[in-house]
């Protein structure tokens, strides 16, 4: 189903007062269409209707060209929460992971990310996201599982013998 039909289906539910159903429709479609500012904007509107401004700000940030007064508080809440690590933390907390160029983003988010030093080519930002921390974490988790399995096996053997 094209993104326009999905948005229209959600709008019908929203107009009928079925806000939760509209949220379900849009939320289930977020992963299907990749980066879609129109879909993000529709989802943000539903989140605002459900009084979830912090989450709405996240989707508004990546869907608006101009920050209007009515959206200032949710977007600023998102930025305050997500910009502690600069542009990388904003991009990594974004629903738009997959945008490869800064120029693909709407005017407002592009300008804000440029102010924070984001490069035009975003593919390296996403590929460097975990780095060696992820590999180290996985290795430590595997070592913990193996150690605990060994301890458990030893305990069972001692219990059987005694």
Q: Tell me the pLDDT tens digit for each residue of 111-120.
A: 999 999 989 9
Query: Are 38 and 65 spatial neighbours (Cβ–Cβ below 8 Å)?
Result: no
pTM: 0.73
- Please report, for residues 57, 106, 139, the alpha-carbon distance to residue 4 in angstroms, rounded to integers and kept in the order given: 22, 18, 44
Tokens of 9: 């289906």
Considering only the C-alpha atoms of the chain, give the largest distance between any 2 of them, rounded to a whole number of Å.
Answer: 74
Q: Which of 65, 19, 15 is nearest to 40 (CA)?
A: 65
Would you state the pLDDT for residue 96? 60
Would you state the pLDDT for residue 141? 92
Would you state the pLDDT for residue 124? 75
- How far apart (Å, rounded) are the C-alpha atoms in residues 97 and 39? 15
Q: Averaged over 121-148, what is the pLDDT?
A: 78
């Amino acid at each position: 189903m094209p993104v326009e039909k999905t948005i229209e289906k959600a709008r019908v539910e929203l107009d009928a007062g079925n806000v939760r159903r509209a949220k379900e429709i849009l939320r289930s479609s977020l992963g299907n269409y990749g980066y879609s500012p129109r879909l993000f904007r529709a989802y943000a509107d539903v989140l605002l209707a459900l009084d979830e401004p912090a989450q709405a700000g996240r989707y508004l940030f990546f869907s608006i060209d101009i920050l209007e007064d009515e959206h200032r508080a949710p977007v600023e809440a998102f930025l305050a929460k997500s910009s502690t690590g600069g542009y990388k933390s904003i991009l990594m907390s974004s629903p738009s992971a997959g945008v490869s160029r800064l120029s693909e983003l709407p005017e407002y988010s592009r300008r804000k990310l440029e102010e924070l030093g984001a490069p035009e080519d975003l593919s390296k930002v996403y590929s460097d996201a975990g780095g060696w921390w992820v590999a180290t974490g996985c290795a430590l988790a595997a070592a913990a599982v193996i150690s605990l399995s060994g301890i458990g096996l030893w305990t069972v053997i001692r219990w059987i013998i005694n």
